[in-house]
Amino acid sequence: MLQGLMMNSPLLITTIMRFALLNHAGREIVSVTEDNPRHRYTYAEAFARAAQLANAFRSLGIQQGDRIATLAWNDHRHFELYYGISCSGSVCHTINPRLFPEQIHYIIEHAEDRLVFVDPVFVSVLEQLQGKLNSVESFVVLTDAEHMPETTLRNAVCYEDFIGSQAVDFDWPNLDETTASSLCYTSGTMGDPKGVLFSHRATVLHAYGISLPDVMNLGQRDCVMPVVPMFHVNAWGVPYAVPMIGAKLVLPGSQAGNGAVLYELMESEGVSFSLAVPTVWLALLEYLKQAGLQAESLKRICVGGAACPASIVERFRDDHNVYVHHAWGMTEMSPVGAYNTLKAGAKELPDHELLALQLRQGRGLFGVEMKITDDAANALPWDGKTNGALKVRGNWICSAYYKSDEAILDADGWFDTGDVATIDSEGFMQITDRSKDLVKSGGEWISSIELENTAVNHPGVAEAAVIAVAHEKWIERPLLIVVPHEDGGIEHDEMLNWFAGKVVNWWIPDDVVFVSELPHTATGKIKKSKLRMQFSDYQLPISNKH
């Protein structure tokens, strides 16, 4: 073999930091914290404090490979932890504070975290658990001395004191690029959470991938606000891609659900691009409508984590002149796998076709191979109609779970995402369902996602779920469960008739149940396993559909 004669420098998160320091030192990071509603500083200051963190770890004898946990919202201190921990060779274990306490206990014990950095609001959760957290030596509260809460947490210290006396430079180690950099547990709609252990190499490649023009199209002139939490798959990779590009970063702290704060941040800081799950966008649209406001600064948004309802695309387009990009991914994929940016010529399509195209989850990123297969693992055609198990392969996709013997790749190295999808001849992938959520009526598939999206487009519906319920004739039929808006009194028949002409007749749910709330996972997804248990004995009315 004739080897190429090119340099081979490791792909490290440290290189992103060094590059940003040289090229974008003065670019701003603005964040909302409990102790300061508008903290602002520069990349240079952020990375100096990351060096202080690394020095503090060294003084405590933290070793490379040790896990250090965070239980925190999106703010500048969390950003410093991303770099201070990973670049010193340790593993930044981001924990979702919305998990049940038993799950937080499980994953801290499983990861054997040595230190836990915690936002003041989550201190009480850890106080109750700390007796059972055997690996944790001390807790660092993410605030300054003035705002430090009274706490019984062992060896508790406030963040500013933890780093305060340390030097602002650090001799960052030249790590192997496959070194573990961060750890995130999937929230587990089934079973115990599983740890996905990211590497420096995968993180840097993913940052390149998501920045491309047909993906997030990030540029130095952008101002980016990830509303998606930094505890959920590294805020979709944004805290790495943005310093690489040199864009301004706005971190909204605990205010992801506060439309007024988000809007104010967007307008005053000049946010051009923002990312969040559909629930956040629906809440913001509602706030803007009620307050009679228009999003002036925002140019484009990314919606992912769950299927994007048509109303988000339409309302942002018509009321705010904001373009909506739908994206798909999962924790196991760092997380971005597909992103929806239209191809040349698409603008010529009639409106309804254009909207349908925009609502697909998107095209696979360069770096992610996708295929759909049948039950015998045969590849299925990309015809936009054939449904199959969606499988992926690539450099930022996990090959095994942390401390697990479970084989998760097939013989050819493909990872089964658990999603069912179609792919059209142009490469646009559309998720039909999670494989376990599909409704199989008389042997044929009904997409619960499509029914839910149709239901949510009814003005009286706040949230909707569709599950399969046992049926004598068809084996399974769809049951619709709806949370109506507070003021909306939707009638039973009116709700079911809403589907007529919008989906094929035999897809129309057999019945609807109105409830005041739906169960959610810690990442805000509807917990269908719980609904299936709750409605396992549900008797559907006799149906002739199909």
Q: Does 328 bind ligand ADP (CB under 6 A)?
A: yes
User: Out of 164, 418, 442, 519, which residue is the one contacting ligand ADP (CB under 6 A)?
Assistant: 418
Q: Which residue has tokens 């003084």? A: 59
CB of 212 to ligand ADP, least distance (A): 18
CB of 338 to ligand ADP, least distance (A): 8
Is 347 labeled as catalytic in the residue annotation? no
CB of 189 to ligand ADP, least distance (A): 6
Map the footprint of ligand ADP across residues 162-221, applying CB under 6 A.
Answer: 186-187, 189
Of the candidate spans 44-52, 393-401, 412-420, 538-546, the one that interacts with ligand ADP by CB under 6 A turns out to be 412-420
**Per-residue binder mask for ligand ADP (CB under 6 A), 488-517, x = binder:** ------------------------------
CB atoms within 10 A of CB 118: 27
User: Out of 147, 317, 434, 520, which residue is the one contacting ligand ADP (CB under 6 A)?
Assistant: 434
Phi-psi region of 449 (alpha: psi -120 to 50; beta: other; left: phi over 0): alpha
CB of 433 to ligand ADP, least distance (A): 8
User: Out of 330, 365, 423, 490, which residue is the one contacting ligand ADP (CB under 6 A)?
Assistant: 330
Of the candidate spans 65-73, 104-112, 315-323, 411-419, the one that interacts with ligand ADP by CB under 6 A turns out to be 411-419
Is 440 labeled as catalytic in the residue annotation? yes
Residues 267 and 82: their CA atoms lie apart, in Å, by 27
Q: Does 525 bind ligand ADP (CB under 6 A)?
A: yes
Element (H, E) at 390: strand 388-394
185 CB-contact burial (10 Å; exposed 0-12 / middle 13-18 / buried 19+): buried
Cβ contact 309:453 at 8 Å: yes
Q: Does 143 bind ligand ADP (CB under 6 A)?
A: no
Residues 86 and 157: their CA atoms lie apart, in Å, by 21
Q: Does 331 bind ligand ADP (CB under 6 A)?
A: yes
Three-class DSSP category at 74 = strand
Of the candidate spans 40-48, 110-118, 299-307, 451-459, the one that interacts with ligand ADP by CB under 6 A turns out to be 299-307
**Residue 240: half-sphere exposure toward Cβ, Cα within 13 Å:** 33
Q: Does 74 bind ligand ADP (CB under 6 A)?
A: no
Which position among 289, 343, 440, 473 bears the catalytic label? 440
DSSP string, 459-527: TTEEEEEEEEEEETTTEEEEEEEEEE-TT----HHHHHHTTBTTB-GGGS-SEEEE-S---B-TTS-B-
User: Out of 326, 363, 471, 527, which residue is the one contacting ligand ADP (CB under 6 A)?
Assistant: 326
Which position among 186, 331, 454, 523 bears the catalytic label? 186
CB of 190 to ligand ADP, least distance (A): 10
CB of 243 to ligand ADP, least distance (A): 23
Amino acid at 243: P
Which position among 445, 506, 530, 545 bears the catalytic label? 445
Q: Does 341 bind ligand ADP (CB under 6 A)?
A: no
DSSP string, 116-179: EEE-GGGHHHHHHHGGG-TT--EEEESS-GGGPPP---TT-EEHHHHHHTS-S--------TTS
Is 445 labeled as catalytic in the residue annotation? yes
Of the candidate spans 8-16, 38-46, 341-349, 415-423, the one that interacts with ligand ADP by CB under 6 A turns out to be 415-423
> Which residues, in sequence order, are CB contacts of 37 under 8 Å at separation 6+?
none
Which position among 269, 332, 463, 476 bears the catalytic label? 332
CA angle 368, 316, 384 (to 5 degrees): 40
Q: Does 305 bind ligand ADP (CB under 6 A)?
A: yes
Is 332 labeled as catalytic in the residue annotation? yes
Residue 188 in tokens: 């587990």
Of the candidate spans 31-39, 104-112, 174-182, 417-425, the one that interacts with ligand ADP by CB under 6 A turns out to be 417-425
Q: Does 453 bind ligand ADP (CB under 6 A)?
A: no
**Cα first-last separation, the chain:** 60
User: Out of 361, 448, 454, 543, which residue is the one contacting ligand ADP (CB under 6 A)?
Assistant: 361
Nearer to ligand ADP by Cβ, of 87 and 327: the residue is 327
Pairing of strands 388-394, 439-441: unpaired
Residue 107 in tokens: 């994953």
CA dihedral 361, 364, 368, 372 (to 10 degrees): 70
Nearer to ligand ADP by Cβ, of 31 and 361: the residue is 361
- Of 339, 307, 314, residue with least CA distance to 241: 339
Nearer to ligand ADP by Cβ, of 327 and 451: the residue is 327
Tell me which residues touch ligand ADP (CB under 6 A): 186-187, 189, 304-307, 326-328, 330-331, 335, 361, 417-419, 431, 434, 521, 523, 525
Residues labelled as active-site residues: 186, 332, 440, 445
